[in-house]
Amino acid sequence: MTKHVTTREIARLLKLHHSTVSLALRDSPLLKTETKKKIQEAARKLGYKPDPMLSALSAYRLSKRPAPFHAVIAWVNNWPVREALLANPVYRGYYEGACQCAKKLGYDMQEFWMYEPGMTPRKLETILKARNIQGMLLPPQRAAGIHLDIDFTDFFVVTFGYSRHPQNLHLITNNHAQTMDLILSKLVELGYRRPAYCISPSADAGNNYIWLTRMLCLTERYPQLCQIPRPPLDTKKLAKWIDKQQPDVLIAYSDSLVEIESLGYKVPQDLGFASLATYPHNSHISGADQNDFLIGQTAVNVLVGMINHQERGVPQVPIRTMVDSVWFPGETLRPQPSPPSSIPAKRGVASRSSQTAHSKR
């Protein structure tokens, strides 16, 4: 044997074709499991190590032609209402990005719904093994802390976000701390001084409380900002809260804008509005574009890398991959006078005396 063991040398010793050895070392689903294990064990004993330069050349050549079909990646939907998962624009971005990347790499994405009649975690495992589906993507759960009782021992798994419990798998998500940094820096730059954080406690749990803690930290970095108590969840009380607290900009999810405008406030004339997850392709809302499509692509790239390196099951040390947001200027923010003007009360409700009182605050 030469100092550097090659696939041809392994093939000669095992009396196999070198292409069979190459497929086995890439864990190709085209081979039987027993054959792959035999070849992989022989390669390990012989001290085989892939040549990084040859691997790079192979990857370059593959990128220049359509990828052949390799296998299926399971997209596991654990939402009681099947359509609700992709009704969320962020999660749809994850899915579409993952599908595009999977197709480029020669994989097909297929959804498996955990609320299908008769479906159980054990049955899902049986189906995936029978169909030789080894890669699995776990999109966000419907609420934080949900446990999906699947035995991941024989699978390659990547999850999105922090909602699944326990958080012991490789994870892809938005860089929530950077997102809040981006939003507050833009608001300060525009002259806003009374930002209100309008995210529910349940949503805080879903992002591991990073947005909330980061905002509290940044109010110390920007002493010109005034801290305002979190608004009530009850829409009927929201107008009174705005009237009392006088925020000049709300930080919320995009769908909250409809609620604000239904109360009679004009955005951005009366109130600024910054979304923590805006969708530039179909929205005028200012805020952070979390690059949902890129997050989906990244998840598949990580998953395929795990397949190539045979990293199955629950890892000893989970790795969290963060994707930064970019700013989308939109139309719901505008430069503020200094000091910012007070916020008008709800249109058609407040009396002239109350509006006068507001102007004196």
Handedness of CA 235, 240, 244, 246 (dihedral sign): positive
CA distance 14 to 207: 51
DSSP 305: H
Q: Please name the residue that has the structure tokens 């397949």.
A: 307
Domains and CATH numbers, the chain: 7-63 (1.10.260.40), 71-174+292-325 (3.40.50.2300), 176-289+327-360 (3.40.50.2300)
| Cβ partners under 8 Å of residue 196, min gap 6 | 228, 230, 231, 245, 247, 249, 250, 251
The model's confidence at residue 66, banded by pLDDT at 50, 70 and 90, is: low
> Cα–Cα distance between 292 and 211 in angstroms, integer?
17
pLDDT of 346 strictly over 70? no
Which has more pLDDT, 31 or 63?
A: 31
Task: Please report the pLDDT score of residue 16 as a whole number.
Answer: 85
Nearest in space to 72 (alpha carbons), one of 37, 111, 124: 111
Statement: residue 349 has pLDDT above 50: no
Torsion (CA) 77, 81, 82, 84 in degrees, nearest 10: -90
What is the average pLDDT score of the chain?
A: 87
Q: What is the mean pLDDT of residues 8-13?
A: 86
Which tokens in the block code for residue 45? Answer: 């004993």
Share of the chain above pLDDT 70, in %: 87
Distance CA(13)–CA(8), nearest Å, equals 9
| pLDDT exceeds 80 at position 50 | no
Q: Is the pLDDT of residue 353 over 60?
A: no
pLDDT(255) > 60: yes
Per-residue confidence band for 49, with pLDDT thresholds at 50, 70 and 90? confident
For residue 337, what pLDDT is reported? 86
How far is the C-alpha of 168 from the C-alpha of 319, rounded, in Å? 9
Instruction: Give this prediction's pTM.
Output: 0.78
pLDDT tens per residue, range 172-223:
999 999 999 999 999 999 999 999 999 988 888 888 999 999 988 888 889 8
Residue 68 has pLDDT above 70, yes or no: no
pLDDT of residue 2 exceeding 50, the answer is: no
Mean pLDDT of the region 62-69: 55
> Which has the closest alpha carbon to 231: 265, 207, 208, 280?
265
Query: What are the tens digits of pLDDT across the range 222-237?
Result: 989 998 898 988 888 9
Q: Is the pLDDT of residue 64 over 90?
A: no
Highest mean pLDDT among 28-37, 50-59, 120-129: 120-129
Angle between helices 33-46 and 7-14 (to 10 degrees): 120
Bridge partners of 112, per DSSP, are 76
| Per-residue pLDDT tens over the stretch 131-164 | 999 999 999 999 999 999 999 999 999 999 999 9
Is the model's pLDDT at 62 over the cut of 70?
Answer: no
